[in-house]
């Protein structure tokens, strides 16, 4: 059983399944004047991701949060066994979530990288999002 199968449609939670995030080097290039510009591969990924996110928001009834912290649990399935850092995909994911309207500003995003594995047949990134609850999500290590 997939660890995330229990994360179906539930009140107050948004679940999105995104295509694998391209490497940071494939997302941007820097002009000779120092400006960072998205590559064609990045534009394609952001377009796909934002479409998926908006659709999930509509289906699951998620309303844009404003000035509220949100927890984003992230599970990554890589396409192969190359060594990668899960946190390198974060900025792209948070930018896509913000631009699609999950929250008003990604400064409110609190990521939790839960796990990673390899799935050559279906590489993906699963994000389960909910508003921060200090009792449930707060610091447990006092």
**pLDDT tens across 79-103, in order?**
999 999 999 999 999 999 999 999 9
Percent of the chain at pLDDT > 90 equals 76
Dihedral of alpha carbons 101, 63, 20, 84, sign:
positive
- Asked if pLDDT for residue 128 goes beyond 70, the answer is yes
Residues forming beta bridges with residue 30, ordered by sequence position: 36
State how far the Cα of 29 lies from the Cα of 133, in Å rounded to an integer: 38
CA 44 to chain centre: 16
pLDDT given for residue 8 in this prediction = 47
**Domains (ranges, CATH) in the chain?**
13-137 (3.30.1330.70)
**If you average pLDDT over residues 35-53, what whole number do you get?**
94
Encoded tokens for 35: 């400006």
Closest CA to 72 of 117, 125, 3, 5: 125
- Asked if pLDDT for residue 6 goes beyond 80, the answer is no
Closest CA to 14 of 49, 68, 67, 54: 54
Task: Report the greatest alpha carbon distance in the chain.
Answer: 50
Q: What is the mean pLDDT of the chain?
A: 90
State how far the Cα of 29 lies from the Cα of 22, in Å rounded to an integer: 13
69 burial (CB, 10 Å; 0-12 / 13-18 / 19+) is middle
């Amino acid at each position: 059983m997939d660890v995330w199968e229990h994360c179906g449609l539930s009140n107050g939670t948004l679940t999105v399944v995104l295509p694998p995030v391209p490497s940071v080097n494939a997302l941007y290039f820097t002009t000779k004047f120092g400006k960072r510009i998205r590559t064609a591969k990045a534009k394609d990924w952001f377009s796909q991701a934002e479409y998926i996110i908006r659709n999930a928001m509509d289906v699951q009834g998620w309303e844009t949060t404003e000035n509220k912290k949100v927890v984003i649990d992230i599970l990554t399935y890589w396409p192969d066994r190359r060594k990668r850092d899960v946190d390198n995909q974060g900025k792209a994911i948070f930018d896509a979530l913000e631009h699609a309207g999950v929250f008003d500003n990604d400064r409110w995003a609190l990521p939790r990288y839960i796990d990673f594995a390899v799935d050559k047949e279906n590489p993906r990134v699963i994000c389960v999002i909910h508003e921060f609850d200090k009792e449930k999500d707060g610091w447990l290590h006092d």
